[in-house]
A and B are shown apart, each in its own frame.
Chain A
Amino acid sequence: MNKRLLILLLILTLSLALMVGSKLWTLKTGEIIELRAEPVDPRSLFRGDYVIITTAIHRINQEDVGGDREFHKNDTIFTLIGEQPDNSWKALSIHHHNPRKQQPLDKQQTVIKGSVSRISGSTYHASYGIENYFIPENSGKEIEQAIGKHAISVRIAVDSAGNAAIHSLLLDGKTLHEEGLF
């Protein structure tokens, strides 16, 4: 019994450590880019206060981008994004496989991995795992009230596999919340 209990606890702990480790790996090794966000403030019974982050790369009109075609709901999508002269990031092309493995990227480009959450007409709605940002309780209103009056942006780390993690939340360019590793 003791041996089996120990094995079980190690497996469970390892699976949780992998959850944390993969996020820390992305935060530690990923390239940091800044995306302009349009958050709203829904409340969830189970997950406390959080803001939903939507950026320009979340809505991709396939007529505006290159790359592959024929994506279905829940398909994995690799979005090649590029930095524009005004420092914003824009989707350049979409792919079924990581384009970084096929060709070297320019300095102002990176690839972010996600999935197609919805398709409306010629527009793909993508999720990259950076859509929810949990904030200290009761501070959601503060951010909600800032919408429209202040520029809200999010810094994300993107690793070489395309995985993304939220690094910090910014209000008018000033850091509002920053993620420490521990």
Chain B
Amino acid sequence: MLHRKLEQESAAWVESGWITADARQKILAGYQHDTPSLLIRLISVIGVLLLGVGLISFIAANWEAMPKLARLGVLMAFLWGSYLAAGWSLGKGNLPRTGEALLLLGVIAFGANIMLIAQIYHISAHFPDGVLLWTTGGILTAWLLHSQSSMVIAVALSLIWSGTEMLTFDQLHWQWLPVFTLMLTLSVRREWFAAFTLLVIAFYLWMWVFLTVLMPLTGNDYAPVWLGLLVAIVLTMTGRVLSNWIAERRYGDILTSCSLIAAMLSGWLLTFPAILKTVAINAGVEWYTAAMLIVIATITAVDLKQLEPQQRSSLHTKFGLLFAAGFALIAIAFLVSGKLNPIAFNLLYFLALVWLIIGAATERHASRLNLGFFTFAIWLTARYFDTFWDLLDRSLFFLIGGALFIAISIVLERKRRALLADMSHQGREQ
């Protein structure tokens, strides 16, 4: 797919005089191997899965008849076999894709060992400890054998570990944070962008569960959404600053994109008056909101300072400042009165949507533009239901709603496509 796209794009580069026809051929030749490698990876993964399923079925069928020592032998052979096969594939075999898939099988085999040994020896200790041990195996594999897929599975396992501690055992499980930091450090050092993206997503999922467990202690059920929104805004701005500060822009971009999704979705939830009214001020929420406001103001100032003079006077920046001022006013009013105003919050959300769409169009960021239009559509739907559900007759509600949404969707989709086409055209011109 990449090769085909490159073929189309590079023809335009030659026409624009960016590269010579000879250079184009060399670039295309360099990417020639890309297509089959995807196929090989797919076949390797399918092969590994089939092997795994076959082995598990065979062992399961004969498991009861085996003495304990034989069971342990089978489990060890599964573990060592997977890792040694991976080692051979990555080394002498020169089969990196297969090796990576076999490492994944090795990590799965380690988990199977933990669970089945617990079964053989009737170990029913605190079961998230088993998931932690499995996570550790995944991290060690990622670290020692430079395997991104093992890191990805370790991130997912760490979430299961911490999530179980929080949801099953009602613990405020901050112990996930050092493990997260370790995984983050490793992923950044190795430039594993897939693992980094998953870590940012994992952070948001963990944070919401953490805040959800924390909040009943203060008797404030929907406050996690508000607190989560504040964190998402902080990290969106941090991502913007990082994109300009560090050489590898992708870290900042990933952080901003994931945080924008988190911010827009948690903000959308709070646009419902019924939810917003339940977010009450109390000791915990108060200091947290005040602290976050100071952090947001500081990062916004840093972000503004690093902008070029042209960017500073742009429409995007003006809308951004308007949004920042509106947000600060709403948050200060919340701290003073203890309530969030639904109309003011919805106006602010609308402002954030405009800022997001203008920013995405200016920075030619297609996925953020799609996010902007998507959140605009779901926000509009929610407000329509909020406003007219009780006011209109049911059949009239659906008739008007249906016609309205078809019309709006056509307009929005046309606008979105026009902007995307414009962005693509500008990209070629530059």
A contacts, CB < 8 Å to B: 1-2, 4-5, 7-9, 11-13, 15-16, 19-20, 23-24, 46-48, 50, 73-74, 115, 127, 129-134, 136-137, 165-166, 179-182
The residues of B that contact A8 with a CB separation of less than 8 Å are 83, 140-141, 144-145
Q: Is B189 an interface residue (CB 8 A)?
A: no
The residues of B that contact A137 with a CB separation of less than 8 Å are 64
How distant is A123 from chain B, measured CB to nearest CB, in Å? Answer: 18
**The one of B120, B121, B140, B171 that contacts A12, using a Cβ cutoff of 8 Å:** B140
Q: Is B126 an interface residue (CB 8 A)?
A: yes
Are the CB atoms of B140 and A2 closer together than 8 Å? Answer: no
Q: Is the contact region of chain B dominated by helix, strand, or loop, or is it mixed?
A: helix
For the complex of A and B, the 4 pairs showing the least CB-CB separation, nearest first, are A132-B124, A5-B87, A182-B69, A23-B121
The residues of B that contact A7 with a CB separation of less than 8 Å are 144
Bound-state CA distance A19–B69 (Å) is: 15
How distant is B123 from chain A, measured CB to nearest CB, in Å? Answer: 6
Are the CB atoms of A1 and B145 closer together than 8 Å? Answer: yes
Bound-state CA distance A7–B141 (Å) is: 10
- Given A47-B119, A74-B171, also A136-B64 (CB < 8 A): yes
How distant is A145 from chain B, measured CB to nearest CB, in Å? Answer: 20
Interface centre among B80, B113, B122 (most CB of A within 10 A): B122
**The one of A134, A166, A181 that contacts B119, using a Cβ cutoff of 8 Å:** A134
Q: What total of A-B pairs shows CB separation below 8 Å?
A: 94
Q: Is B34 an interface residue (CB 8 A)?
A: no
B101-143 CB mask vs A (1 if < 8 Å, else 0) is 0000000001001110111111111100000010011001100
CB nearest to B137 among chain A residues:
A12
Per the 8 Å Cβ criterion, residues 160-187 of B in contact with A are: 169-171
Q: Is B84 an interface residue (CB 8 A)?
A: yes
The residues of A that contact B354 with a CB separation of less than 8 Å are none
Are the CB atoms of A5 and B115 closer together than 8 Å? Answer: no
Q: Is B4 an interface residue (CB 8 A)?
A: no
CB nearest to B123 among chain A residues:
A23
Given A11-B140, A19-B114, A19-B118, 18 other A-B residues pairs in contact with their CB atoms under 8 A:
A1-B145, A5-B83, A5-B84, A5-B87, A8-B83, A8-B145, A12-B137, A12-B140, A19-B133, A20-B72, A23-B123, A24-B121, A129-B124, A131-B124, A134-B119, A134-B122, A166-B122, A181-B68
- Given A73-B170, A134-B122, also A1-B72 (CB < 8 A): no
The residues of B that contact A46 with a CB separation of less than 8 Å are 115
Give 11 CB contacts A-B under 8 Å: A2-B91, A8-B144, A9-B80, A9-B84, A13-B79, A20-B72, A20-B121, A24-B121, A48-B119, A127-B126, A181-B68
The residues of A that contact B113 with a CB separation of less than 8 Å are 16
Q: Is B219 an interface residue (CB 8 A)?
A: no
CB nearest to A24 among chain B residues:
B121
Are the CB atoms of B76 and A13 closer together than 8 Å? Answer: yes
Are the CB atoms of B83 and A9 closer together than 8 Å? Answer: yes
Bound-state CA distance A131–B171 (Å) is: 21
Q: Is B90 an interface residue (CB 8 A)?
A: yes
- Given A5-B84, A73-B169, also A19-B115 (CB < 8 A): no
Q: Is B30 an interface residue (CB 8 A)?
A: no
Q: How large is the interface on B (under 10, 10 to 19, 20 to 34, 35 or more residues)?
A: 35 or more
Bound-state CA distance A149–B67 (Å) is: 31
Bound-state CA distance A19–B122 (Å) is: 11
The residues of A that contact B72 with a CB separation of less than 8 Å are 20, 182
Are the CB atoms of A182 and B133 closer together than 8 Å? Answer: no
The residues of B that contact A23 with a CB separation of less than 8 Å are 121-123
The residues of A that contact B123 with a CB separation of less than 8 Å are 19, 23, 129
How distant is B416 from chain A, measured CB to nearest CB, in Å? Answer: 44
The residues of A that contact B90 with a CB separation of less than 8 Å are 1
Bound-state CA distance A12–B150 (Å) is: 14
Bound-state CA distance A133–B117 (Å) is: 13
Bound-state CA distance A15–B110 (Å) is: 10
Are the CB atoms of B68 and A180 closer together than 8 Å? Answer: yes
The residues of A that contact B76 with a CB separation of less than 8 Å are 13, 16
Are the CB atoms of A12 and B124 closer together than 8 Å? Answer: no
Are the CB atoms of B67 and A182 closer together than 8 Å? Answer: yes
Bound-state CA distance A147–B79 (Å) is: 40
The residues of A that contact B68 with a CB separation of less than 8 Å are 180-182
How distant is A47 from chain B, measured CB to nearest CB, in Å? Answer: 6
Bound-state CA distance A49–B387 (Å) is: 54
Bound-state CA distance A47–B350 (Å) is: 50
Bound-state CA distance A1–B123 (Å) is: 34
The residues of A that contact B170 with a CB separation of less than 8 Å are 73-74
